[in-house]
Amino acid sequence: MGGRNETKVMYFILLGFPTTGELQLLLFSALLLVYLLTVLENFLIILIIRNNHSLQKPMYFFLGNLSFLEIWYVSVIEPKMIRDVLSHDKRISFQGCMAQLHFFVTFVCTEYVLLAVMAYDRFVAICKPLRYPLIMSHKLCAQLVAACWMCGLATSSIKLSFIARLSFCDVDKINHYFCDISPLLNISCSDSSLAELVDFTLALLVIMLPLCTVVASYICILFTVLKIPSSQGRQKAFSTCSSHLTVVILFYSTTLFTYAHPKLMYTYRANKLVSVLYTVVVPLLNPLIYCLRNKEVRVAMRKTFTCRRDTKEIN
């Protein structure tokens, strides 16, 4: 292999973002604040949905699952990323790297499919309103969420089975802030063409099939909404979709850039910057988008905090 030492790698070094001493503390504080806010926001959404009978609907059942997913999604990446900002020891064991990769791919693939399921829910609610309670039963909703997780787990397991077989030589430095597929493929000293093909094919399937579902759902929604005679009715119908559509655009646009291209098109700097968007920024914005653009969530939030404040005053 070109004179490279093909010994088994025990650990990798995550290079992360090179910073000067003055910026390290600022970056550490900013990342820690963002992580805590993201977890808190998503936890509050779960709490609000569980405590308000007005939100016991399929739409909010899926939203609660999305918030639950994103708490784990950011927790796989950000704590290690935050620690590495101030630490000189940026090592991660081979087993730790594979575990991080497995959980991250599981969560990101599950989110792709869950966002498509949420789009289908909006399609049924707007295009088939009379049959909506019958179609979107509690049983079907639970089955759809379970299918999302199974799809994520299956995709991750297949990808990891090919990546874990690769040999990594004396180049143990990963030019990223977490163990992602493309950086690992780039430092492998064995033939990674099959692993790359499997990764690229599954990435296209997991991204494009849900995306087609989202697009088809919203095309049907658009035609249905345009047939509504009153402008107030059209505005109400669009308002139930706007928050979800915004989240879809943010998540799909950033991840599509990163994962739906072959290894040869991989560029370290661009991919690291885009990765920050979907691992740090988008999970922070998603709860805010649903709270600010969804009237039912805003009303339920006010009721929740008002009731808690009144209870404390009585006690």
pLDDT tens for residues 226-272?
A: 888 877 777 777 777 888 888 898 888 888 777 665 554 555 666 77
Residue 116, domain member (yes or no): yes
Q: Hey, which residues does 12 pair with through a beta bridge?
A: 92
Q: pLDDT at residue 117 above 80?
A: yes
Give the residue numbers spanning the domain of 202: 11-314
The mean per-residue pLDDT over the stretch 196-217 comes to: 90
Residue 285, domain member (yes or no): yes
Residue 277: what residue type? Answer: L
pLDDT of residue 143: 96
**Three-state secondary-structure class, residue 172:** coil
Residue 1, domain member (yes or no): no
pLDDT of residue 240: 76
What is the CATH number for 210? Answer: 1.20.1070.10
Residue 2, domain member (yes or no): no
When comparing pLDDT for 292 and 246, which is higher?
246
Residue 4, domain member (yes or no): no
pLDDT band at 192 (very low <50, low <70, confident <90, very high): confident
**15, 22, 144, 261, 268 from 176: Cα distances, Å:** 6, 21, 34, 17, 8
Q: pLDDT at residue 1 above 50?
A: no
Separation between Cα atoms, residue 46 and residue 297, nearest integer Å:
11
The mean per-residue pLDDT over the stretch 161-187 comes to: 83
Tell me the percentage of the chain whose pLDDT exceeds 90.
39
Summarised one tens digit per residue, pLDDT across range 126-144 is 999 899 999 999 999 999 9
Number of domains in the chain: 1
The mean per-residue pLDDT over the stretch 97-119 comes to: 94
Residue 5, domain member (yes or no): no
Residue 3, domain member (yes or no): no
**20, 104, 117 from 56: Cα distances, Å:** 49, 29, 17
Summarised one tens digit per residue, pLDDT across range 63-95 is 999 999 999 999 999 999 999 888 888 888 889
Q: Are 69 and 107 in contact (CB under 8 A)?
A: yes
Which range of 111-120, 270-279, 290-299 scores highest in mean pLDDT? It is 111-120
Q: pLDDT at residue 4 above 70?
A: no
- Lowest average pLDDT, out of 80-84, 98-102, 287-291, 307-311, goes to 307-311
**Three-state secondary-structure class, residue 140:** helix
